[in-house]
Structure 1
């Protein structure tokens, strides 16, 4: 399994938003795309943060913000990332160590090229077991 790299499993058809996206619009984007996270990027496609469905628990607990509240208020900015060349066993360890379910995949210029999730890893393991 060490020779399988993140680039093989990651989703590269990302749904991204800017930090100034309204929280209401971000939530609608998550629902419309049936996804569990949005990668927040700057105008150059560099990672600024990540907003997950778990973050919406905080938003709801705070009695849903006023219309002008942006993603920047709730996104995680200290984002753990991986590179496309990292073996998936390392990625699984990073997820466990940091207690995260979504890892943006960034290139050497910090440009976001994909995202890998625990669902991706579970799907891969299911496929591997079926082929054995």
Structure 2
């Protein structure tokens, strides 16, 4: 797996929102697209944070007026990222060590160009290995 890189498995053109997007709008976007996260970017498209389905557990639990709450209140801002040329084995290790499921792929300019998830990695592994138990 050392010769497989993030660029080969990542989802290109990730869905993005601004920090002032309402959580209800972000949730609807995620539902319509069938995705588990949106990347939060500033006016220059630089990565500011990530909002995932896990964050929505907290949103529901706190019962704030969801239609008036911006994603900036819930997004993770200490976002781990990768570049398109990182080997997937290293990415898998980083995801496990950090206990996360989504890793934005950014260019040298900090602009998101994709996202790689544990689902992407599982799909790849299942295509190269026989399922267990066989």
The number of aligned residues is 130
Residue in 2 aligned with 1:113? 113
Q: TM (normalized to structure 1)?
A: 0.95
1:4-15 aligned at under 5 Å gives the runs: 4-15=4-15
Which residue number corresponds to residue 58 of structure 1? 58
- For residue 45 of structure 2, what is the aligned residue in structure 1? 45
| Secondary structure, counterpart of 2:115 in structure 1 | strand
The answer to whether the 8 A contact 1:16-1:38 is kept is yes
Paired position in structure 1 for 2:82: 82
Greater CA drift, 84-93 or 23-32: 23-32
Distance across 1 between alignment mates of 2:94 and 2:107? 17
Partner SS, residue 43 of structure 1: coil
Asked whether the equivalents of residues 59 and 65 of structure 1 are also in contact (C-alpha less than 8 Å), the reply is no
* TM-score normalised according to structure 2 size: 0.93
Structure 2: runs of 5 or more not aligned: none
Alignment correspondent of 2:122: 122
Structure 1 window deviating more from structure 2 (76-85 vs 63-72): it is: 63-72
CA deviation string 1:3-31 (max 9, x = no partner): 11000000013111000101111111111
